[in-house]
Chain A
Amino acid sequence: MQETPRVASLFLNVPDWQGHHAGQHVDVRLTADDGYQAQRSYSVASAPEDARLAITVERLEDGEVSPYLVGEVKVGDKVELRGPIGGYFVWNAETSSPLLLVAGGSGIVPLMAMLRHRSAAGSKVPARLLYSSRTADDIIYKEELDRIASSGDGVEIAHALTRAQPSGWKGYSRRIDRDMVREIAWPKQQSPMVFICGPTSFVESAAGLLVDLGYDPLQIKTERFGATGG
């Protein structure tokens, strides 16, 4: 399923899948006819409660794996998976602290798994998402996020568009900064759980802004995927 011009979600039937936690990833390995192998990590996008495992992949023009997964792969094709992987960048709906999610670009994927898990598990913890994208066309899961935000289920969503904004845009029109974080973040006294995912420079600046606001670095969980995933 195409999410944006460069991003697609794949739905996988995995025999004997042991289940996963929201925030975990899988390693996808492709083997060429000549035996050459390439492997990349992709965050799981689906909730643990969902019937099929979903990953969401951004196509990178010089990538070895993503151009196949976004564009070439066909229904019925088989891929080699390892996982689920990770226990650090993981959120469980039994947690009672407010949730603060901060995403840059395709860093939304594991955070989407958390929002989907929150909804599927019937969690009522208040949640806020700050999601930075380049343009409106680059917003992944846009319709689903709009639905979640308007459902009155306790999730507030703020978008920032850093490169271009459509006319009448009501969200932020700049990169993440101190004022933005101050407006979105829960007061530190509420001891929110914080998950930040995106390119390394985005994650480090977002985490730094929260620490400047008095957040304990240990309550901020981050996943930095570099410039790209491959």
Chain B
Amino acid sequence: MEAAEAKVDGNAIGGLLSEIFTMEMTTAESTCASCGAVNPVGRVDVYLRAPGVVVRCPGCEQVLMRIVRGPGRYWIDLRGTRCLELAAPE
């Protein structure tokens, strides 16, 4: 399989992110800590076949987030995301 085809996008982790943040997250705007690009989560690159989920900036390819779900726990590394801006629930 080509490496490019292991890549999906942030729409694919809408369910996982809603478990963690308990709201719709694909429209949240993420700012890359590396290059400053701002993208809705639905637009970022996602690799599901890594150990856990790896989210990368579509601009500079730096890691934005890593999420691992183990039995009864999540580990969330947001180092590569400078800011997440999202709509407050109504």
Chain A interface (Cβ < 8 Å from any Cβ of B)? 25, 27, 41, 82-83, 85-89, 199-201, 204, 221-227
* One of A85, A87, A225 near B15 (C-beta < 8 A): A85
Given A41-B12, A85-B26, A88-B27, 9 more A-B residue pairs with CB atoms under 8 Å apart are: A25-B11, A85-B14, A86-B42, A88-B11, A89-B42, A201-B4, A223-B9, A226-B5, A226-B6
Evaluate contact between B15 and A88: CB separation under 8 angstroms: no
Q: Contact mask B1-42 → A, CB, 8 Å, 1/0? A: 110111111111011001000001011000000000000111
Evaluate contact between B11 and A223: CB separation under 8 angstroms: yes
Collect the chain A residues with CB atoms within 8 Å of residue B2's CB: 201, 227
| CB-CB nearest 7 A-B residue pairs | A88-B42, A227-B5, A88-B26, A85-B14, A87-B27, A87-B24, A27-B15
Collect the chain A residues with CB atoms within 8 Å of residue B24's CB: 85-87
Q: How far is the CB of B75 from chain A (nearest CB, A)?
A: 19
Question: A200-B5, A200-B8, A227-B1 known; A83 and B43 CB under 8 Å?
Answer: no
Evaluate contact between B8 and A88: CB separation under 8 angstroms: no
A222–B11 Cα gap in the complex (Å)?
9
Question: A85-B18, A87-B26 known; A224 and B42 CB under 8 Å?
Answer: no
Collect the chain A residues with CB atoms within 8 Å of residue B42's CB: 86-89, 221, 223
Chain B interface (Cβ < 8 Å from any Cβ of A)? 1-2, 4-12, 14-15, 18, 24, 26-27, 40-43, 48
A223–B45 Cα gap in the complex (Å)?
10
Evaluate contact between A88 and B40: CB separation under 8 angstroms: yes
Evaluate contact between A88 and B41: CB separation under 8 angstroms: yes
CB closest residue in chain A, given B6: A226
Question: A201-B2, A201-B4, A226-B5 known; A83 and B15 CB under 8 Å?
Answer: yes
Question: A222-B43, A224-B7 known; A89 and B12 CB under 8 Å?
Answer: no
A67–B48 Cα gap in the complex (Å)?
20
Q: How far is the CB of B24 from chain A (nearest CB, A)?
A: 4
CB closest residue in chain A, given B8: A226
A199–B12 Cα gap in the complex (Å)?
13
Evaluate contact between B14 and A25: CB separation under 8 angstroms: yes
Collect the chain A residues with CB atoms within 8 Å of residue B5's CB: 199-201, 226-227
A223–B4 Cα gap in the complex (Å)?
14
Q: 6 A-B pairs, CB-CB below 8 angstroms? A: A83-B15, A86-B11, A88-B41, A88-B43, A200-B5, A223-B9
A41–B13 Cα gap in the complex (Å)?
9
Collect the chain A residues with CB atoms within 8 Å of residue B10's CB: 88
Residue of B8, B10, B11, B18 contacting most chain A CB atoms (<10 Å): B11
Collect the chain B residues with CB atoms within 8 Å of residue A88's CB: 10-11, 14, 26-27, 40-43
Evaluate contact between B15 and A89: CB separation under 8 angstroms: no
Evaluate contact between B14 and A86: CB separation under 8 angstroms: yes
Evaluate contact between B26 and A224: CB separation under 8 angstroms: no
Q: How far is the CB of A102 from chain B (nearest CB, A)?
A: 15
Q: How far is the CB of A64 from chain B (nearest CB, A)?
A: 13
